[in-house]
Chains A and B, each alone.
Chain A
Amino acid sequence: EIVMTQSPAILSVSPGERATLSCRASQSVNSYLAWYQQKPGQAPTLLIYGASTRATGFPARFSGSGSGTEFTLTISSLQSEDFAVYYCQQYNDWPRTFGQGTKVEIK
């Protein structure tokens, strides 16, 4: 099983600042990596797929990068609506696995 490890667990950021979230895979997942955003009481929403392709509806301040085992989600200038939990997921191999999540909170 591919283990996905996200860091940090909690990221405290002021509105307008940059946020950098990391996701590491225990073995290569190529570029088969997705990021999901989950707000309190809501279902997850697809944010990034293929490691770097933004899903419909998300603004350009969200960007994904990486391949193999190291991935990064960057939010260039945090807005109030971006405070949420972010999960990475690999879909290179079975079983599909998620990271434990990074909570982005207001500083």
Chain B
Amino acid sequence: QVQLVESGGGVVQPGRSLRLSCAASGFAFSAYAMHWVRQAPGKGLQWVATISSDGNKGYYPDSVKGQFSISRDNSKNTLSLQMSSLRAEDTAVYYCAKGQYYDGSGHFDYWGQGTLVTVST
């Protein structure tokens, strides 16, 4: 069965950086695009990054472009999200999700349980 396990969340000061990871198992990780989606406390879902199956193509909304960087290691079945210059508004639960296809098209068919990032002094 598909399993996605996020880690790396915690409390971080404004302006600092943090790296999230997602360990994937139960499917051919290298064949599928992967995504990060966040959810601020009590709020809705916001897509923040997508990476193609081969890692060569990344997509971001304007709100995090240049601030977040998505990457993957297909040899270790691991997805990462490097976040820099963090602000209070980046406080959220961050979910990794498996894409339907290799190129980032399609829906998000499996989600991890999320990791909480709190940006605060």
Q: List residues of chain A with CB under 8 Å of any chain B CB.
A: 1, 34, 36, 42-46, 49-50, 55, 87, 89, 91, 94-101
**Contact between A95 and B61, CB atoms less than 8 A apart:** yes
Q: List 7 interface pairs A-B (beta carbons < 8 Å), by A numbering.
A: A42-B113, A43-B111, A46-B111, A49-B107, A91-B107, A94-B59, A96-B50
Does B77 have its Cβ within 8 Å of any Cβ on chain A? no
Give me the interface of B with A, judged by CB distance under 8 Å.
35, 37, 44-47, 50, 59-62, 95, 100, 105-114
Are B114 and A89 in contact, CB atoms less than 8 angstroms apart? no
- In the complex, besides A46-B109, A49-B109, 15 extra interface pairs with C-beta distance below 8 angstroms are A34-B108, A36-B108, A42-B113, A44-B37, A44-B95, A45-B111, A46-B107, A46-B110, A89-B108, A95-B61, A95-B62, A96-B35, A96-B50, A98-B47, A100-B44
Of B44, B60, B95, B114, which is in contact with the most chain A CB atoms at under 10 Å from its CB? B44
